[in-house]
Amino acid sequence: MTRSNRTLAPARGAARPARRARPAFWADARFVIGVVLVAASIAGVWFVVAAARQTVPVLTATTTLVPGQTITSADVAVVEVALGQALPAYLAADQLGQGEVALRTIEAGELVPRAGVGDASLSDRTAVVVRSSIDVPADVERGATVELWESRPAGAPGAFDPPRVLVADAVVADVIEEEGVMASGGAALELVIDRRRVAEVLGAIAAGSVLSAVPNAGAAATAPASTPASEAPAGEGDE
């Protein structure tokens, strides 16, 4: 007796099993999660862009500030700039303390950096007035860095030792050009120097040394980069 491989068909009229209804695609958990993630991403991008374009009031120098100079309200102005994450590096409009001084040269129009301002006790600079035996170039002005050279008198009258650098990084606070028939060659300069060099400079003046102020060619390469208010760093994504 052989086994039949035929499948018996269901009897006519027998009830077929009901199909399970598939849920609508908008009720699928994966769809809902996807919509939430897309919405969160859009909201996050909008928040970052809005925060980056938000301006805040900070201080900018209205004149060149030299090391050791006491900063007053007349030396700064309030500007609105978008700094983004760079905000902590600059001085806010209400953060300038009374009697604070510049710790480095801050160019006119530059945003005032927090690290460039501090209590007077933190400054190791002071100003002296010297007379340069030679004229200084026209581009040497307030805030420029110069080398102060010295030639000490030798034994014979009118003879001088070979010149040497007395101060390598003097900052010009003022240039006083003399005019008229009584004017001698050269120029008088107010220089900001390290306090430890003051005695040596005053000694050179008292000894009758010839002093000459020469522009420091390496000052542009070594000076801290300034940040004009017109080029203030913006937040990420606000380029």
**CA atoms lying within 13 Å on the CB side of residue 130:** 35
pLDDT at 85: 82
Mean pLDDT confidence for 55-59: 89
Each residue's pLDDT tens digit, 34-51: 777 888 888 777 666 666
C-alpha–C-alpha distance, residues 167 and 197, integer Å: 7
Each residue's pLDDT tens digit, 123-155: 999 999 999 988 888 888 999 999 999 999 987
- Write the DSSP symbol of residue 22: P
pLDDT at 204: 94
Short-list 82, 61, 90, CA closest to 73: 61
C-alpha–C-alpha distance, residues 93 and 84, integer Å: 16
The answer on pLDDT for 161 being more than 60 is yes
Strand partners, 110: 228
| CA–centroid distance for 179 within its chain | 38
CA–CA distances in Å: residue 33 to residues 22, 24, 45, 46, 208: 19, 15, 19, 20, 85
Strand partners, 58: 79, 92
- 104 close to 110: Cβ distance less than 8 angstroms: no
C-alpha–C-alpha distance, residues 110 and 94, integer Å: 17
pLDDT at 181: 42
Each residue's pLDDT tens digit, 71-112: 999 999 999 988 878 889 999 988 998 999 999 999 999 999
Token pair of 89 as six digits: 């590096």
Model confidence, pTM: 0.65
Report residue 229's pLDDT band, with 50, 70 and 90 as the boundaries: low
